[in-house]
Chain A
Amino acid sequence: MTRFEELLEGKVAGELSPDENQEFSALLVVAENRRAFATHQQTVALLAGVERYVPSSSFTEEVLARLPDRRSRPLRNVWDLLWATRVMRWNVATALALSLVLVVTALTWKALSGRTPVGSERHSIVTLFRFSLDAPGAQQVSLAGDFNGWRTDEILLADVTGRGHFAVTLSLKPGRYAYMFVVDGATWMTDPRAEAYRDDGFGNKNALVNVEVPTVADGDT
Chain B
Amino acid sequence: MVVEALRCNSMASRASKEQGSTGCQVLIDARRESDPVDERAIIARCLAGERRAYSVLVERYKVLVHDLVSRMLGDTSDAEDIAQDAFVKAYLSLRDFRGESRFSTWVCRIALNRCKDVLRKRRRAPWTRLRHEEGPDVAEVPDDQETVVDSLERCEREARLQRALARLPVKYREAVVLRHIEGMDFHEIGRVLAIAAGAAKVRAFRGREMLRRILERDGALR
Contact = CB atoms under 8 A, between A and B. Distances in A.
Q: Do chains A and B touch in the complex (CB under 8 A)?
A: yes
Interface string A191-215: 0011110000000000011111010
A44 B80 contact: no
Contacts of B91: 63, 67
B66 A55 contact: yes
A121 interface: no
Contact of A63 (B87, B202, B208, B220): B87
B215 to A, nearest CB: 7
B127 A59 contact: no
A59 B66 contact: yes
A150 interface: no
A39 B221 contact: yes
Contacts of A98: none
Contact of B25 (A6, A49, A209): A49
A56 interface: yes
Interface of A: 1, 5-6, 8-9, 13, 39-40, 42-44, 46-56, 59-60, 62-64, 66-70, 127, 129, 193-196, 208-212, 214, 218
A55 B12 contact: no
Main secondary structure of the interface of B (DSSP, over half): helix
B88 A53 contact: no
Nearest to B46: A67
A5 B167 CA distance: 23
B24 A40 contact: no
Given A5-B205, A52-B12, A64 B52 contact: yes
B201 interface: yes
Contact of B84 (A63, A129, A208): A63
A59 B62 contact: yes
Contact of B63 (A39, A40, A49, A52): A52
B27 interface: yes
B67 A52 contact: yes
B181 interface: yes
B51 A64 contact: yes
A70 B84 contact: no
B127 A196 contact: yes
Nearest to B198: A1
Contacts of B83: 55, 59
Given A64-B52, A66-B84, A9 B66 contact: no
Given A53-B12, A59-B58, A209-B126, 14 more contacts: A1-B202, A6-B201, A47-B181, A47-B211, A48-B181, A50-B161, A55-B80, A55-B83, A60-B62, A63-B55, A63-B88, A69-B51, A70-B49, A214-B124
Q: How large is the interface on B (under 10, 10 to 19, 20 to 34, 35 or more residues)?
A: 35 or more
Nearest to A51: B12
A49 B24 contact: yes
Contacts of A64: 51-52, 54-55, 58
B84 A59 contact: yes
A211 B126 contact: yes
What are the 3 tightest A-B residue pairs by CB atom distance, in nearest-first order? A195-B127, A47-B180, A52-B67
Contacts of B101: none
B76 interface: yes
A67 B221 CA distance: 45
B54 A67 contact: yes
B208 A54 contact: no
A210 B181 contact: no
B11 interface: yes
A208 B92 CA distance: 41
A14 B8 CA distance: 31
Contacts of A70: 49, 51
